[in-house]
A and B are shown apart, each in its own frame.
Chain A
Amino acid sequence: DAGVIQSPRHEVTEMGQEVTLRCKPISGHNSLFWYRQTMMRGLELLIYFNNNVPIDDSGMPEDRFSAKMPNASFSTLKIQPSEPRDSAVYFCANTGRGVGAEAFFGQGTRLTVV
């Protein structure tokens, strides 16, 4: 298995533009998480899906952020409109069905909003 695959690895966009980050989880791993990493706030959970259903989106900072998981093989995180303070590394992570299973992370997308 290729692991969790995120795209793009780097994204530079102008303030006000729409940004879409993509994640392909590990096949058969039914929990998916989007995290945001910044120097100031560390790793923050944005949203958590289980079996493609959003379970907890309390970490989504504003209505400008939305996430979808239309099927078990794909998830997106969209920011519209983007702002400079959204600049961060965004990680997608995946856990399997086992209790206490570790989280496997993608390589992250470094987003820069100018």
Chain B
Amino acid sequence: AQTVTQSQPEMSVQEAETVTLSCTYDTSENNYYLFWYKQPPSRQMILVIRQEAYKQQNATENRFSVNFQKAAKSFSLKISDSQLGDTAMYFCAFGRQTGRRALTFGSGTRLQVQP
């Protein structure tokens, strides 16, 4: 079974600054997918970024980028130029490449962007 750990329950960052959210996971599989989801107060779950484990290059989506360290089983999210609209819960998630398709989620990090 896979586990996903987010060790930072809450974080705060000043507007326009950079923040990094941590995520580690445990799996015996070699091929898999990792995701970061954002959940604003509206409670809608929104995909932020996706990483395929077989790719060495870190995924980037505008101000969002990841640092994927496969050997260390680490998958952190960096948010650059933080905006007030980035205030939300952020969930790291693990997805298998084969078999059971359901994602396994971490416990989440609550990010507050301060003006």
Residues of A bordering B, CB below 8 Å: 31, 33, 42-43, 45, 48, 50, 55-56, 89, 91, 93, 95, 99-100, 102-103, 105, 107-108, 110
B35, B43, B50, B100: the one contacting A48 at CB < 8 Å is B100
Are A102 and B44 in contact, with the CB atoms below 8 A?
no
Q: Residue-by-residue, is B31-54 near A (CB-CB < 8 Å gives 1, otherwise 0)?
A: 001010000001111010010100
A105 cross-chain contacts in B, Cβ below 8 A: 44-45
CB B55 to nearest CB in A, in angstroms, measures 11
Q: For chain B residues 53-96, which have a beta carbon within 8 Å of chain A? A: 91, 93, 95
Q: Give the chain A neighbours of B42 by CB distance below 8 A.
A: 107
Task: Tell me if B45 and A48 are in contact (CB < 8 A).
Answer: no
> Knowing A42-B107, A42-B108 touch, does A100 contact B97 (C-beta < 8 A)?
yes
Contacting residue for A56 out of B50, B102, B108, CB 8 A: B102
CB-CB under 8 A from B44, the residues of chain A are: 105, 107-108
How distant is B12 from chain A, measured CB to nearest CB, in Å?
Answer: 19
Among A48, A100, A110, max chain B CB count under 10 A is at A100
Q: With A100-B97, A102-B35 in contact, do A107 and B43 touch (Cβ < 8 Å)? A: yes
Question: In the docked arrangement, what's the CA distance between A104 and B73, Å?
Answer: 25
Closest to B6 in A: A42
Main secondary structure of the interface of A (DSSP, over half): strand
Q: Is the CB of B52 within 8 A of A56?
A: no
Given the known A-B contacts A42-B108, A89-B43, are A103 and B103 also in contact in the complex, defined by CB atoms under 8 Å?
A: yes
A102 near B50: Cβ-Cβ < 8 Å:
yes
Find the B residue at minimum CB distance from A89. Answer: B43
Q: Would A55 and B107 be within 8 Å (CB), given that A89-B43, A91-B45 are in contact? A: no
